[in-house]
């Protein structure tokens, strides 16, 4: 099953990217000539996603104007100007726009360059709604650029996940996933984190993950931009 809809989390304040984000939302920061937001949207387009719901809060008019001319995927805005809702709260607000089928989630401030089969397609091939509520894309520390904290999850032989608590043998959540909307049944409105649902899925044995193949890039601060651009150049050179 290949999801046709995606939620793009683009509403954050980007405080660590100041002073750039004083006048520009972080998803519009450019790396190698392309905005962070477009790196993600291009991956969704390549995966066959027809509709992407993009949430906005900080300097929203800039993002709305930026995506206005995009034809694929079709962009629908979820407006969070009144209150920043965090990752899960933003998804809960957007559920009427996302429909009843499993959908992709991607963070608008991280991206990746695949080596071989596209990561979002690999996620779709691995998705099994009978066993899973959430399937995360993961990466290892050596394949990450700009990541300055530890790992997130340990992976069992069958792909089931548990918290790594920083164990260096673990993997990093790479900011992309497939999730079934049933996860949010009876979810509260208001600001809260996806981590709540990750932990519930772990407890139920229904959080799974697969490792991507390629280079994963996160840009947390202005001085991380040159490293990100160098990583893009290196990854693209390897792909040729």
pLDDT in tens, 5-20: 999 999 988 888 899 8
Q: C-alpha distances in angstroms, 220 versus 9, 56, 66, 71?
A: 15, 19, 21, 29
Mean pLDDT of 38-42: 95
Give dist(CA 178, CA 120) in Å, integer: 9
Residue range(s) defining the domain that contains residue 195: 5-239
CATH code at position 69: 3.90.550.10
Tens digit of each residue's pLDDT (9 = 90 or more) over 65-108: 999 988 899 999 999 988 888 889 899 999 999 999 999 999 99
Q: C-alpha distances in angstroms, 22 versus 37, 55, 220?
A: 18, 19, 15
3-state SS class at 83: coil
pLDDT of residue 211: 95
Confidence band, pLDDT 50/70/90 cuts, at residue 129: very high
* Eight-class DSSP state of 160: B
**Residue 49 scores a pLDDT above 80:** yes
Minimal CA–CA distance to 206: which of 176, 151, 155, 161? 161
Helix runs in 9-68, H state only: 36-46, 60-67
Domain count, the chain: 1
Supply the mean pLDDT for the chain. 92
3-state SS class at 134: strand
pLDDT of residue 116: 84
Minimal CA–CA distance to 46: which of 127, 118, 137, 102? 118
Give dist(CA 12, CA 87) in Å, integer: 9
């Amino acid at each position: 099953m290949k999801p046709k809809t995606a939620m793009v989390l683009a509403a954050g304040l980007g405080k660590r990217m100041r002073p750039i984000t004083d006048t520009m939302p972080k998803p519009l920061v450019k790396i190698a000539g392309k905005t962070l937001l477009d790196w993600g949207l291009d991956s969704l387009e390549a995966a066959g996603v027809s509709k992407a719901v993009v949430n906005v809060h900080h300097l929203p008019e800039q993002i709305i104007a930026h995506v206005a001319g995009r034809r694929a995927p079709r962009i629908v805005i979820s407006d969070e100007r009144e209150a920043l809702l965090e990752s899960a709260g933003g998804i809960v607000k957007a559920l009427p726009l996302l429909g009843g089928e499993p959908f992709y989630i991607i963070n608008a401030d991280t991206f990746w360059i695949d080596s071989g089969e596209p990561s979002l397609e690999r996620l779709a091939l691995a998705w099994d709604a009978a066993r899973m509520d959430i399937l995360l894309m993961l990466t290892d520390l050596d394949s990450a650029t700009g990541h300055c904290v530890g790992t997130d999850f340990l992976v069992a032989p069958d792909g089931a996940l548990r918290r790594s608590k920083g164990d260096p043998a673990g993997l990093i959540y790479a900011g992309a996933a497939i999730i079934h909307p049933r996860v949010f049944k009876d979810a509260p409105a208001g600001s809260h984190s996806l981590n709540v649902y990750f932990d519930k899925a772990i407890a139920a044995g229904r959080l799974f993950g697969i490792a991507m193949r390629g280079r994963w890039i996160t840009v947390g601060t202005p001085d991380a931009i040159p490293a990100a651009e160098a990583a893009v150049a290196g990854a693209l050179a390897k792909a040729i």
